[in-house]
Amino acid sequence: MPLITKVRKPEAEAEPEHLEKVEQRFYVRWVINVKGILGSTIPHKAVVVEDPPRKIPISFRYGKGIHIIRKPWSYMIGHFTPHGGYLRSSIFFSYDKLKSESERRLLLVPLTNITYTNLSYVRPCICLGRDYVGGTGLKSRAIHLNELFWGTRFNGEIGVGSGAKPAWGEALIGEELVRKWEGKSKGDDLIEFRKAPRNMSSVNAAMKWLQKYIT
């Protein structure tokens, strides 16, 4: 499974019209300076994209059709060099809009192409295949990253970690889990998701957790 882990050079082309349309749906909530850890992590910035509740089409590379799921608030945490080079990223949910970076209310995303466990096999980042995280600056690149995640064709061959599966999806895998999620999305009841463990239960905590895997 190809993972994007290398620093990319900034793209020359501007995309103001596209960015303006996208920012009407979601936007950069926080830009956090991350100090380097001696001998490992380089100094960089964590850019947090807040995406409000909405219905999203989900498809799989070898799946059958498109599934429409209803998600709560989501928070994409993208780590970039000061010049916009993409490093790593992770994504979480919250039932409500977060008031601060330290609020411990994050939930795990029960989707493939991302993991919170088994870090020796798949690092905690979003699998974007060959897609390029383009943009003209930190904010536009973070917004593009969020678009890429939700717009990618997910890999049904990757398992969702048991720690990220909600109670209603514990026995399901890949597209089966998303199909069940789609069924729950047709009603108005709250869809329950698994709470993030303490070491990634807030934006600040998740940022520090992810920072350990950036070299």
pLDDT in tens, 46-95: 999 999 999 999 999 888 799 999 999 999 999 888 777 888 889 999 99
Q: Decide: residue 135, CB within 10 A, 0-12 exposed, 13-18 middle, 19+ buried.
A: buried
pLDDT of residue 22: 45
Q: What are phi and psi of 183, to 5 degrees?
A: -60, -40
pLDDT digits 0-9 by tens, 131-186: 467 777 889 889 988 998 898 888 877 778 888 999 999 999 889 999 999 999 99
- pTM more than 0.75: yes
Cα separation, 140 vs 132, in Å, equals: 13
Going through the chain in order, the beta strands assigned E by DSSP cover 27-34, 44-51, 54-60, 66-71, 73-80, 86-94, 153-154
pLDDT of residue 24: 56
Dig out the tokens for 31 from the structure: 């830009």
CA 209 to chain centre: 14
pLDDT digits 0-9 by tens, 121-134: 445 556 654 446 77
Annotate 146-160 with DSSP letters as a single string: HHHHHHSEE-TTSPP
Q: Check: CB of residue 7 under 8 Å from CB of residue 168.
A: no
